[in-house]
Amino acid sequence: MNRSEALFQRAQQTIPGGVNSPVRAFKSVGGTPRFIAAAQGAWLTDADGRRYVDYVGSWGPMILGHQHADVTAALQAQLAVGVSYGAPTELEIEMAELLCARVPGMAQVRMCNSGTEATMSALRLARGATGRDFILKFEGCYHGHGDALLVKAGSGLLTFGVPTSPGVPADLAKYTLTAQFNDLESVEALFDEHPDAIAAVIVEPVAGNMNCVPPVAGFLEGLRALCDRHGTILIFDEVMTGFRVGPRGASGRYGVTPDLTTLGKIIGGGLPVGAFGGRREIMQQLAPVGPVYQAGTLSGNPLAMAAGLVLLRQLDDAALYERLETTTAELLAGLQAAADRAGVPFATTQVGSMFGLYFTGGGTPSRFADVTACDIDAFRRFFHAMLDRGVYLAPSAYEAGFVSAAHTTAEIAHTLQAAEAAMDAIRT
């Protein structure tokens, strides 16, 4: 038994399923999750000393690679003066000013500790600000595990085939309406059925929790117009896409400005973080100025602020995003060529340094049903064939992949060499 296997057995004694977040358990791909001992740049090292090129990047935050020297230095400097005070700090103002300067439509912002908290709080705020109860989300989009959002969600729920989690009261779930991503008519129909009742439309502007599905032309613009017409708050959940798909996130990339934006992942540089912000008059409804309550013992934590600020300052760089996009395009072109050569039906999607891999002969998916129709078993076999050859992909067919600035031609070449063999190995 190797160390990861031993650790997995031990973990399961005291941690449900051996993991602190379900997709980490490799349940849908099978086998033993790799327990990670260290990471540097684009590489992970597991407990058995095996190395992998990492395309998960801590599920998004590591856009400049692991152990970026400036982030580490900022953390060390903060450690010297304290890790948490429960009182305001100048670092929080710097973070708020930076986010408001860079994120379209963000006049004010509140920090919290996870993407889940950000979306949960944004929804409460939207309901409080509008006096309405219904929210509208999209099938296959994941916005964290707040009760109202665990309805027809993506990511782990999709991976494990749980459309709506037990434990969410039906009386609450009935306020969550679900439409189809990239299908404005399905949104319009719900607005018609529930006139003057929908507080918010929440959407991942690039759907990254049902693999990686870009918005079709006009979809985000159409949501903006419908929300304007119905007095509904438009929330872009940019927990994944914020500072990932471009220096101004998806709203900057597609030129559509929401009323509220949720953030997480990159803005904490790998430390636990979340944020939600947007139009001033909406944000002014929050306590202590307004009546909508939201709080957090560790919110605006100095370590998370210090790490996030350093990372965000480095990301004010259009050329960096162009390089990331080029590297990702090279990776995907190589994977497609390997699949074509092996005769494996395959398609890819890309938005900046986010990507999706699909085992399908049906063309590039743009709808939820296209994604679920893909060959999940082929993905499972490909995942393991790559893992065996030192490439760590997300252990689910429903997660986006991420390339970092630390992925150089050497890492891409290593990956494509593995893919040549893996595509042959999975051909049935």
Question: Which residue among 52, 142, 175, 398 is the active-site one?
Answer: 142
Judge whether 198 and 232 are in contact, CB under 8 Å: yes
Residue 264 interacts with ligand PMP (CB under 6 A)?
Answer: yes
Based on the shown chain and the rule CB under 6 A, indicate whether residue 22 belongs to the binding site for ligand PMP. no
Closest CA to 204 of 166, 266, 254, 168: 254
Q: Which backbone phi and psi does 126 adopt, to 5 degrees?
A: -65, -40
Q: Which of 4, 28, 89, 116 binds ligand PMP (CB under 6 A)?
A: 116
How many residues are there in the chain? 428
Residue nearest to ligand PMP (CB): 115
Nearer to ligand PMP, 305 or 344 (CB): 305
Among residues 237, 259, 370, 375, which is the contact residue for ligand PMP, using CB under 6 A?
A: 237
Cβ atoms within 10 A of the Cβ of 79, count?
12
388 is catalytic: no
Q: What is the DSSP pairing of strand 233-237 with strand 260-264?
A: parallel
120 or 129: whose CB is closer to ligand PMP?
120
In sequence order, the 6+-apart residues with CB closer than 8 A to the CB of 395 are 23, 24, 26, 28, 29, 33, 383
Q: 240 vs 347, which CB is nearer to ligand PMP?
A: 240
Annotated active-site residue 52? The verdict is no
Tokens representing 132 are: 């309405």
The answer to whether residues 205 and 192 touch, using CB atoms and an 8 Å cutoff, is no
- Whether residue 142 lies in the annotated active site: yes
Phi then psi for residue 115, to 5 deg, are -65, -35
**CA–CA separation, 48 and 37 (whole Å):** 8
Q: What minimum distance in Å lies between the beta carbon of 268 and ligand PMP?
A: 9
From the candidates 183, 237, 259, 375, give the one annotated as an active-site residue. Answer: 237
Smallest distance, ligand PMP to C-beta of residue 314, A? 21
d(CA 204, CA 215) in angstroms, rounded, equals 9
**Distant-in-sequence, close-in-space partners of 339: CB < 8 Å, separation ≥ 6:** 345, 346, 419, 423
Pick between residue 261 and residue 327 the one whose CB is nearest to ligand PMP: 261
Q: Is 301 in the site for ligand PMP (CB under 6 A)?
A: no
* Shortest distance in whole angstroms from residue 119 CB to ligand PMP: 5
Q: Is 75 in the site for ligand PMP (CB under 6 A)?
A: no
- 144 part of the interface to ligand PMP, by CB under 6 A: yes
The verdict on 115 binding ligand PMP (CB under 6 A) reads yes
Catalytic residue among 175, 265, 375, 398: 265
30 CB-near residues (< 8 Å, 6+ apart): 380, 384
Beta bridge partners of 43: 40, 53
The correct pick among 46, 92, 183, 204 for binding ligand PMP (CB under 6 A) is 204
Which amino acids are annotated catalytic?
Answer: 142, 237, 265
Q: Can you give the binding site for ligand PMP, defined by CB under 6 A?
A: 59, 114-116, 119, 142-144, 155, 204, 208-209, 237, 239-240, 264
